[in-house]
Structure 1
Amino acid sequence: MKTLLMTASLAACIATTAAAQDMITYTTNQPFEDVIFGLENAIIDQGLVIDSTSHVGDMLERTRADVGSDVTIFLKADVYSFCSAAVSRKVMEADPMNIVFCPYDIFVAVSPDTPDQTMIGFRSFPEGAMKEVEALLDTIARAAIGQ
C-alpha cells in the first residue's frame, strides 16, 4: 500500500511538472487592466482580430459556492482568443491536424498568492510548423507588457 501511495504521489508530481512545462509565462508588476490593454493593442497591432474574451476568473468566482468550494483561484483572469489567417494556413498546410490548436489563446491572470503581480502566458506548441505560432504568441505577450 505504501509503495502504491508513493507511486501515485510521484505520478502526480510528474503530471504537474509536465503541465507547467507546457506553457510559457511572463510576470509583471503592471496592473491587470494595463496588461489587458497592452494585450488588446498587441493583438490588433499584428493585424489580428480578437475572436472572444473568456472571463475565466469571474466564472470561477461566480460558481465557487455552487460547486462546493471556498477557494479563490484567481483575483482576475481572462483568456483572449484570436487567429491569424496567414499563419494558420501555413501551419495547417504543413499538417491539417494543426487545426486542433486554432484559435490561439493568451491568458492574463492575477493570483491571490501574488496580488501585486500579473501573469501573461500561452501554451507551448510542438516542434515543427507550430513553433511559428508560438513565436507569434510570444511576440504579442511580450509586447503587451512592454518587453
Structure 2
Amino acid sequence: MKMFAAIALCLTATTALAQEAVMTPFDGSFDDATFAVENEIVGRGLVIDYVSHVGEMLNRTGEDVGSDVTIFDAADVFLFCSATVSREVMEADPMNIAHCPYGVFVTEQDGEVMIGHRTYPDGPMQAVESLLDDIVQAAAGT
C-alpha cells in the first residue's frame, strides 16, 4: 500500500511540473498592459473577483525570507470566472472546480512586459483556455 501511495505522489508531482504557461509579449508599459487586460475581461461582461499584486508581495517580502533577488519589476494576476464557461466545464466534470477561478497575469522583467495564462488539461477545460487565449491576444493587440 505504501508503494502505491509513493507512485501516486510521484505522478501528482510530475503532473504539477508539466503544467505550463502561455505568454505573449506586450508592446507597452506594465500599466498599459494591466489596463488592457482589465478592459478585455470586463468588456466581455466578466467580473474580476480579485487582483493579486504578486510582484509587490515578492518585492516587499524578499528581505524577510532572506533573499535579495528581484523576480519581477511588477506582476499582477487578474482572477475571475465566467458563469457560462464554468457551467460548461463543470457539467462535463464537477471536479473542474479545481481550476476556478481563472487567471490572466501581467509581468514585467527587465523592461519586458508579458501577458499570459496557465495551460489547462485537454478536454472540456480547453473552453477555458480558449477564453483566456482570446483575452490575452486581444489585450496584447495581436
Classify the TM-score, shorter chain.
0.7 to 0.9
Matched, 1:135 2:135: no
Letter in 1 for 2:77: V
* 1:64-115, Cα deviation, whole Å (9 max, x unpaired): 100000100000000000000111001000000000000000110011xx31
Q: Is 2:124 the partner of 1:126?
A: no
Aligned residues: 127
Q: Quick one: distance in 1 between partners of 2:26 and 2:135?
A: 15
Q: Amino acid of the residue matched to residue 42 of structure 1?
A: E
Point out 4+ residue stretches in structure 1 off by more than 3 angstroms: none
Within 2, Cα distance between the matches of 1:78 and 1:86?
A: 25
Alignment of 1:18-33 (within 5 A): 19=18, 22-33=20-31
Aligned to 2:50: 52
User: Alpha-carbon deviation of 1:28?
Assistant: 2.0
| Distance in 2 of aligned mates of 1:64 and 1:79 | 19
Return 5+ residue gaps in structure 2 as ranges. 1-13
Structure 1 position 37 matched with structure 2 position 32: no
Q: Matched residues, percent identical?
A: 55
CA positional deviation for 1:29: 2.5
Q: Distance in 2 between matches of 1:74 and 1:33?
A: 14
Distance 1:90 1:63 in 2: 39
Normalised by the length of structure 1, the TM-score is 0.83
